[in-house]
Structure 1
């Protein structure tokens, strides 16, 4: 018999085993689970668990994003029903493509229309030293350099997502999150003449994996190979100091980015889909 319920701290041992089954794919939810131990005030949302015969088979994070994990077709349908009843509070539905697209088919009448559906996003990972030289000029961003990094981060977000992160709060939340990553030593950049020409951050982190995000090269400098050396530098640091595996996901139509990551040493481990609102 199937059942779904909101998970809490008492479920942490079981949930951590579930999200650690495929840590490079489920790194975002895994990071939330490990950091919060499922304490409601620290999780940043809810975690729904799907059970069959008393066994936890799947879960779904519901916060600023809705993200299914190991969702069977039945679980995806159940999560979609739960999400529809609660109403849309998220900015995106993202995760393994089969589960996300199953959920979206059911949620579209309630939540649609979407601003954009990206149905095929390769998830890539690596755990070995990059196969290309790292850019020696790429380094961690210092806290006193946030003002220099911030415009580049806003430009990247706007280009990638299609809307500015400077929303109703004037960008305060986005800047606070960027500052947090800088202070944690997880923001990297190459500076030239007082401006950023390459940047990337390490967003989610678990004991088993971390995820690169926000890769960006100043438009007029694209085509020079800055991304290859820059990403190699971030991966090298991540493997040495942060986690034993590094992952990311990318839009399949961005052939230049896909090729860049493959040159660095990334290989495909899955496929995401993202529905943006």
Structure 2
């Protein structure tokens, strides 16, 4: 007898046995299937609610940060990398590289990002701002290849943009807060924006075909970014994870609202904050 014959006989036996118990289990199967479908529907609605949230620092923890247990684990991982790799590199970078060299390379890298800033500003319908950004890029590139910033002295200030901010400009909810490995604080919306931003960097195309040079540039960019916060890292005290999260959400909300021309006076204040209390405390510092 061929091996396939044994297979067919086995399958026939299993099917025969299954039909024997089918009638006894049909009601239970239907009930179980209904419960599974109901559970899936509930999970879907819960996930949909989480994704549609527009996270900000003033919200409750379970609203803005529903994945907090996982986020804190990722934060702990990032913190280990920072203390053992990123921060030591940043310290040595500031010690060994002259400040004017660091400033020039930072300006050069920033100038390469100006066209993408302008593209986002065009997408936001802010045409005069985009024209100013293109003007900055042209002046700085022609006069110094981007290693200096004469455009600022001419009154053409810079304005950082990213695709996540552009999505937020049009009212797309941020989704819950997420802590990304290595990359740090983000949200669902900004994580999607990061993908577009990474494809828009000129370095990706200028250094195409030379992976070593490309990743070296990315490493230098990260070390330089870390070096710029060495002097302010002591500001974070207590629950550093929560402070970093709320600062990120506040800064992102401020950036989007500012571009939309919304009022910003009370953006960083709690709803129950009373300016009279501050005045009273200033007049009675001993209390």
Shorter-chain TM-score tier: under 0.3
TM-score with structure 1 length normalisation? 0.25
Give the structure with the higher percent strand. Answer: 1
Instruction: Give the number of the structure whose alpha-carbon radius of gyration is greater.
Output: 2
